[in-house]
Amino acid sequence: MDKPVLLEVKDLKTYFYSGKHALKAVDSVSFSIREGEVFGLVGESGSGKSITCKSLIGLIHRPGRIAGGSIRYRGQELAGLSEKALTAVRGKEIGMIFQEPMVALNPVLRIGQQITESFKDPGLSGEEKHARAVELLRRVGIPNPEQRMREYPHQFSGGMRQRAVLAIALAGNPQILFADEPTTALDVTVQAQILDLLRDVQQKLGTATVLDLGVVARAADRVAVMYAGRIVEIGTAEEVYYDPRHPYTWALLRALPALARHGEPLYTIPGMPPTLIDPPAGDAFAERNEYALAIDYREAPPMFRITDTHFAATWLLDPRAPKVAPPLGGLRHE
Ligand code: ADP
Ligand code: MG
């Protein structure tokens, strides 16, 4: 049975203004996240993943602005809330971890203090806070937590810092966790450990998680593929990885190192994403799409429904379009 919807995003538009121009970083994005779900955003650099995440947690600053749409958290509208009201929701319900753990850590405070200060429960004694912080550090896989509590961020390795940031985020007992490329700055083995950890935490605590997956795409229940500020394909991870329908997703799957098949050279998507200031009419991917149809250059495609959970915005799904087979047909099950 489906869990209740936690976050519902509709027609979200986040623009950066300069003079008369607007850079449409996020342009009419819609999706929803259910309790306990892991939702992954994938797409090339610059496709709007981070700005989508930041919009949802109220971290868009001038000249950027949420220019339209709605963000409902448990039915409460967040778009347009004051910074103060947002901070209250953000601190209590929403946790965040970013690419660079040092940004989230205070270099002059001991790790233990940074965790205990993040507990929201006012009734906790100092001892209880200490015990809970130790427990959290243990949960995120930090050895010798008692001793580590007394250390400063610079005494931690990159991977350990990201674990500490996760402990701080979890200290607030969030219902939803935003992880924006939390592993990009780490080396490959540590990346895998942190992703495993996120998955483990998510399963044990039931925290819904939004992952900005720059490169590594496993671990999500549902995936949205972003291109030029829009979602071009969305579905369960199974649908998007094993039965992709949008030519951009085909190209992306061939280009992601973590998903490349053994022995096949890594593919680079030819061409460049379009400018997000006054983008051309039609399908933004048309210029780079070897399967583009004439209509792609004139009209942007609607979202076509493939299943109740799988949608893609490409004219190739129009019943009148010629049938083309994807170059690899998506990933294959091992
Ligand atoms: P991703 O996370 O997918 O790599 P981003 O969400 O960071 O991409 O960026 C989406 C678009 O918004 C890009 O074109 C980027 O240049 C633009 N952008 C991001 N931050 C700003 C900013 N502070 N001012 C102007 N444009 C920005
Ligand atoms: Mg980003």
pLDDT tens for 297-327 read 999 999 999 999 999 999 999 999 988 887 7
In 222-325, the DSSP E strands lie at 222-227, 230-236, 304-305, 311-312
Q: Sorting pLDDT into bands at 50, 70 and 90, what band is 273?
A: confident
Any long-range contacts for 148-155 (C-beta under 8 Å, 24+ apart)?
Answer: 148/111, 148/112, 149/110, 149/111, 149/112, 149/115, 150/110, 150/111, 150/112, 151/110, 151/111, 152/107, 152/108, 152/109, 152/110, 152/111, 153/101, 153/102, 153/105, 153/106, 153/107, 153/111, 154/107
Quickly tell me which residue has 């008369």 as its tokens.
20
Nearest CA to ligand 1 atom 5: 48
Share of the chain above pLDDT 90, in %: 51
The binding-site residues of ligand 1, defined as CB within 6 angstroms of any ligand atom, are 16, 23, 25, 43, 45-51, 64, 276
Please indicate whether residue 267 or residue 229 has the higher confidence score (pLDDT): 229
For 25, the token pair is 């970083």
Nearest CA to ligand 1 atom 21: 16
Nearest CA to ligand 1 atom 26: 16
Render pLDDT for 111-166 as a digit per residue (tens, 0 to 9): 999 999 988 888 899 999 999 999 999 989 999 999 999 999 999 999 999 999 99
Residue 22: what pLDDT? Answer: 95
Return left, alpha or beta for 206; rule: phi > 0 is left, psi -120 to 50 is alpha, else beta. Answer: left
Q: Mean per-residue pLDDT for 15-37?
A: 94
What is the 45 CA–ligand 1 centroid distance (Å)? 9
Residue 213: what pLDDT? Answer: 66
pTM confidence score: 0.89
Among all bound ligands, the one having the nearest atom to the CA of 226 is: 1
What is the 271 CA–ligand 2 centroid distance (Å)? 20
Q: How far is CA 50 from the centre of its chain?
A: 7
CB 208, CB 34: distance < 8 Å: yes
Q: Sorting pLDDT into bands at 50, 70 and 90, what band is 43?
A: confident
- Determine how β-strand 5-18 pairs with β-strand 94-97: unpaired
Residue 1: what pLDDT? Answer: 66
For 295, the token pair is 């209509």
Contact residues for 303 (Cβ-Cβ < 8 A; gap 6+): 311, 312, 313
Q: Sorting pLDDT into bands at 50, 70 and 90, what band is 198?
A: confident
What is the 148 CA–ligand 2 centroid distance (Å)? 30
Render pLDDT for 228-259 as a digit per residue (tens, 0 to 9): 999 999 999 889 988 999 999 998 888 766 55
**Which region among 77-81, 88-92, 171-175, 326-330 has the lowest average model confidence (pLDDT)?**
326-330
**Which region among 206-220, 243-257, 262-276 has the lowest average model confidence (pLDDT)?**
206-220
What is the 297 CA–ligand 2 centroid distance (Å)? 28
Q: Mean per-residue pLDDT for 97-104?
A: 83
What is the 10 CA–ligand 1 centroid distance (Å)? 20
Nearest CA to ligand 1 atom 13: 46
What is the 18 CA–ligand 1 centroid distance (Å)? 14
Strand order in the sheet with 21-34: 21-34, 5-18, 64-73, 76-77
Nearest CA to ligand 1 atom 7: 50
| Ligand 1: nearest atom to the Cα of 276 | 14
